[in-house]
Structure 1
Amino acid sequence: MPQPDLTLTPAGPALAPRYDDFARTTDTARPYVPATRTSSPRPHAPVRTTDDPARKAGGPGRPAVGARNPYRLLFARPGTRAFAAWGLIARLPAGMFGVSAVIMIAAVYDSYALAGAVTATGLAVGSVTAPLIARLVDRHGQARIAVPAAAYATLGHLVLALCVHERAPVWALFATVALTATSPNTGGMSRARWAHLLRDDPGALHTANSFEQAADELCFMLGPVLAAVLCSALFPQAGTLAAAALFLGGTLLFAAQRSTEPPVAPRTPAGSPLRAPGMVPLLAVFLATGAVFGSMEVVTLAYVDGPVAGPVLALQAAGSCAAGLLYGRARRTARLRTCLAAMTVLMALPLLAASAGSLLALAAGLLVAGMATAPTMVTGMGLVQRLTPADRLNEGMTLAVTALLAGIATGSASGGWAADHAPFPSFGFLIPLAAATTALALCAARDAAAGMTKARRSW
């Protein structure tokens, strides 16, 4: 688990300091210098450099307006707004492709089972190729790998849309959806840029990770809605075509921001991130956490079963997005086990609301339960950054995302089974609660194992 006063190590950037660590970096640590008539600064006056973003924004010797806002200071750095904006556009289609594929396949082939099987095949192939693409990005650079990988994936989505339009044989759908599995992990590449730019500022890195998690939640909240509107208002393939254009254009413009691209790190004998101590148990926690998200989505849709199901479900992502932005402003960060404990407790709220039979209470319960998502993911991703070697950072974060997606698929299947075999209406909401409890137990076991290892080394 992260400890206070972490510094930059070969294993990657440190996490945000906790508790009162920020007080140790103030100007009171400098020796006292008596004031004289020739000395311009007063005793203990902070020394500003020419590249201080606050000085640039507020004038010579003056703090920037709203300097206490960590996000304003974060985006005062040159080039950060551009890559963050284009990265957000490149990630928005991640929430569109799946819904668009299900709608267009079901509309043409009149089979939701086929649509689900095709999209599941794409996720399965992607779970294998994503770490390989990430390894190439770490080895050769983001622009050199992400651009051709995104172009190839876009071609796969276009071919899939063409096959559906022409009502091609079923086997062709499974073959073409595999071509879409080369999509680069834009979120991981964006986090890698922040980790490089803020390698000496763990507090700002915590804020950046919180922003990235909020951006992910925003994409998965707006993406499905946009896809459903396009497919319903225009034609079945409209969602896929729009998502392909946004994905390719956003990735190209993101990769074009070369000033913030991290340099290719020299190869080290560290090996795969999977060999890092504590990484495999941490990925197991991500797997169980993904099951929380996947099962909650399915059981909520099955319970509400109507036109308001989408907006009600979106409240969970809205709560997570808001919590992520607030968590980024916090001067203290929580342990992963604490975040998972909070998630486990809050996941009981939708269960209680569904048992009461109140849709309004369920909506409020999902909103509050979602507030535990972003802090958990921010803290977990911070641990991945710390455990992963610097030259494998993108690969390590992609492994975490892959574990999360595998958990989402598992949770979706479990939630679907629970919805079909529910002895009472709210039975399905036991699945996300059980998954959150499992994630908490796995994290506690990981902490216990790490403590025993540390104790043995001290013997």
Structure 2
Amino acid sequence: GEYWLAGAVSATYALVSAFLSPQVSRLVDRLGQSRIAVPTTLVSALAFATLIVAANQHWPVWTLFLSSLLAALMPSIPALVRARWTEIFRNRPELNTAFAFESAADELVYVAGASLSVGLSAALFPEAGMVVSTLLLAFGSAAFLLQRSTEPPIRPAEDGAAGSAIRLRPVQIITFALIFVGATFATTEVTTVAITEELGQPEAASLVIGVYALGSFVLGIIVGALSLRTPLQRQLAIAVAVIALTTLPLLFADTVPTLALAVFVSGVAISPTFITAFGLIERHVPPAMLTEGVTWVTTGIGIGIALGSFAAGWMVDTFGPQNGFWVSVAAGSVALVTVLAGQCRLATPDCDPNECEAAIVPAG
């Protein structure tokens, strides 16, 4: 019954994950996916199970935070998957299509998962969504890790891996921008639940959040099927600009139908943002640290989701449900400014070398 506590527990998971996930991914790059992901996934699944029991049995609040902290050992599955796609389609046009498919699928699973979680928790019992997600996490990760034939080989440091991927300026820019993109996701979820509850239709939250994924999924598939000639850094700027602009109609959605429409429109550019972001990472990060590079980006999204949840929850509690969307407006604006300011550093080698040489050197 307290939005701030839910946001704080979520933030604990995301912020600890922000520190641990890149370290886990660096170990994956050095030692292999199976050797690292199996034990860390096991610990994470057990921690989520403990979190469920702690919430159900009303254990002390500190047990919620401790469980979230341990659950953050979970390796970045999106990074592991994209590392496999990169190994299969390296330097081939199919790689963009694979990234597009993954981004569209990620978004569909993320938003559909949120919708399913809300629906299960409302229809059955509060922990139902977490129970299902933890089971899917355990079985899905096991199925993925059993696919040994596609696991990337361990690449030696001589292939260009030195230090951490976060020292590369393009990784810094994309990660920072996607923190604020992630914040728009969380704000939409928290505020939608609060608004539908205030309207006396809490069951509509599941449907509205589910609509969020539809536009993103469809447009992601379309982008993946096209051979766009626009430079990736410009594609990213366009996608983030659309995200920023489509946060504005959310401020005026005061009925369930208008809220669903505004949420649908605000989701259309999410998959294209992911597609171009991961494509830029693949271009700028050495192969021997690719998993870590992708993880920094997904970690940025996670940080944004956690901070957005907390900020939106505070806005809802303090100023009312509708005002939660101001967090989306502010976050979208910061993300756009970041991407526009970093255009030259994000440019791939086909730009003017005198202007964009700094895009591929470490920050120091």
2:226 aligns to what?
330
Q: 1:454 aligns with which of 330, 354, 362?
A: 354
Q: 1:361 aligns with which of 258, 283, 286?
A: 258
> How far apart are residue 352 of structure 1 and its match?
3.4
1:84 aligns to what?
none
Q: 1:380 aligns with which of 268, 274, 277?
A: 277
1:171 aligns to what?
62
Asked if the contact 2:345/2:356 (under 8 Å) is kept, the reply is no
Asked if the contact 1:350/1:362 (under 8 Å) is kept, the reply is no
SS of equivalent to 1:265: coil
Report whether the alignment pairs 1:259 with 2:149. yes
> How far apart are residue 417 of structure 1 and its match?
4.0
Q: 2:77 aligns with which of 186, 195, 213?
A: 186
> How far apart are residue 263 of structure 1 and its match?
0.5
More off after superposition, 240-249 vs 321-330? 240-249
Query: Does the C-alpha gap of structure 1 residues 339 and 361 become closer, same or farther in structure 2, counting only changes over 3 Å?
Result: farther
1:431 aligns to what?
327
Q: What are the Cα deviations for residues 249-293 of structure 1, in whole angstroms up to 9, with x where unaligned?
A: 211121111111110111235321122243212222222222232
> How far apart are residue 415 of structure 1 and its match?
2.9
Asked if the contact 1:293/1:408 (under 8 Å) is kept, the reply is yes
Work out the number of aligned pairs and report it: 347
Equivalent-residue separation in structure 2 for 1:231 and 1:360 (angstroms) = 23
Asked if the contact 2:217/2:271 (under 8 Å) is kept, the reply is yes
Q: 1:315 aligns with which of 184, 208, 211?
A: 211
Equivalent-residue separation in structure 1 for 2:112 and 2:312 (angstroms) = 23
Unaligned runs of 5+ in 2: 359-364
1:131 aligns to what?
22
Which amino acid in the other structure matches residue 147 of structure 1? V
Query: Does the C-alpha gap of structure 1 residues 258 and 247 become closer, same or farther in structure 2, counting only changes over 3 Å?
Result: same
Asked if the contact 1:346/1:369 (under 8 Å) is kept, the reply is yes
Unaligned runs of 5+ in 1: 1-105
Equivalent-residue separation in structure 2 for 1:175 and 1:354 (angstroms) = 36
Q: 1:225 aligns with which of 115, 124, 127?
A: 115
Report whether the alignment pairs 1:414 with 2:311. yes
Equivalent-residue separation in structure 1 for 2:59 and 2:279 (angstroms) = 45
Asked if the contact 1:289/1:404 (under 8 Å) is kept, the reply is yes
Asked if the contact 2:316/2:324 (under 8 Å) is kept, the reply is yes
2:48 aligns to what?
157
Larger Rg: 1
> How far apart are residue 316 of structure 1 and its match?
1.8
Equivalent-residue separation in structure 2 for 1:278 and 1:162 (angstroms) = 41
> How far apart are residue 456 of structure 1 and its match?
8.8
Report whether the alignment pairs 1:292 with 2:188. no
Which amino acid in the other structure matches residue 436 of structure 1? G
- Superposition TM-score, scaled by structure 2 size: 0.84
Query: Does the C-alpha gap of structure 1 residues 258 and 319 become closer, same or farther in structure 2, counting only changes over 3 Å?
Result: same
Equivalent-residue separation in structure 2 for 1:399 and 1:200 (angstroms) = 22
Runs of 4+ in 1 over 6 A off after TM superposition: 450-453
Greater share of helix residues, 1 or 2? Answer: 2
SS of equivalent to 2:90: coil
2:104 aligns to what?
214
Asked if the contact 2:103/2:275 (under 8 Å) is kept, the reply is yes
Asked if the contact 1:150/1:182 (under 8 Å) is kept, the reply is yes
Equivalent-residue separation in structure 2 for 1:175 and 1:456 (angstroms) = 44
Equivalent-residue separation in structure 1 for 2:173 and 2:80 (angstroms) = 23
> How far apart are residue 412 of structure 1 and its match?
2.8
Asked if the contact 2:20/2:73 (under 8 Å) is kept, the reply is yes
> How far apart are residue 364 of structure 1 and its match?
2.2
Query: Does the C-alpha gap of structure 1 residues 287 and 316 become closer, same or farther in structure 2, counting only changes over 3 Å?
Result: same
Equivalent-residue separation in structure 1 for 2:167 and 2:186 (angstroms) = 28
> How far apart are residue 208 of structure 1 and its match?
0.4
Asked if the contact 1:210/1:324 (under 8 Å) is kept, the reply is yes
Q: 1:370 aligns with which of 254, 267, 271?
A: 267
Query: Does the C-alpha gap of structure 1 residues 430 and 336 become closer, same or farther in structure 2, counting only changes over 3 Å?
Result: farther
Equivalent-residue separation in structure 1 for 2:209 and 2:103 (angstroms) = 18
**What is the root-mean-square deviation of aligned Cα atoms in Å?**
2.9
Equivalent-residue separation in structure 2 for 1:450 and 1:325 (angstroms) = 24
2:361 aligns to what?
none
2:140 aligns to what?
250
SS of equivalent to 1:278: helix
Equivalent-residue separation in structure 2 for 1:457 and 1:121 (angstroms) = 38
SS of equivalent to 2:264: helix
Equivalent-residue separation in structure 2 for 1:186 and 1:158 (angstroms) = 19
Q: What are the Cα deviations for residues 122-173 of structure 1, in whole angstroms up to 9, with x where unaligned?
A: 2222221111111111111111111111111111122233334443333233
SS of equivalent to 2:207: helix
Larger RCO: Structure 1 or Structure 2 (Cα < 8 Å, ≥ 6 residues apart)? 2
Equivalent-residue separation in structure 2 for 1:432 and 1:122 (angstroms) = 21
- Superposition TM-score, scaled by structure 1 size: 0.68
SS of equivalent to 2:75: coil
Asked if the contact 1:214/1:320 (under 8 Å) is kept, the reply is yes
Q: 1:205 aligns with which of 66, 89, 95?
A: 95
Equivalent-residue separation in structure 2 for 1:301 and 1:235 (angstroms) = 16
Q: What are the Cα deviations for residues 20-67 of structure 1, in whole angstroms up to 9, with x where unaligned?
A: xxxxxxxxxxxxxxxxxxxxxxxxxxxxxxxxxxxxxxxxxxxxxxxx
Equivalent-residue separation in structure 2 for 1:272 and 1:328 (angstroms) = 30
More off after superposition, 246-255 vs 413-422? 413-422
Report whether the alignment pairs 1:270 with 2:166. no
Equivalent-residue separation in structure 1 for 2:51 and 2:102 (angstroms) = 30
Query: Does the C-alpha gap of structure 1 residues 445 and 347 become closer, same or farther in structure 2, counting only changes over 3 Å?
Result: closer
2:362 aligns to what?
none
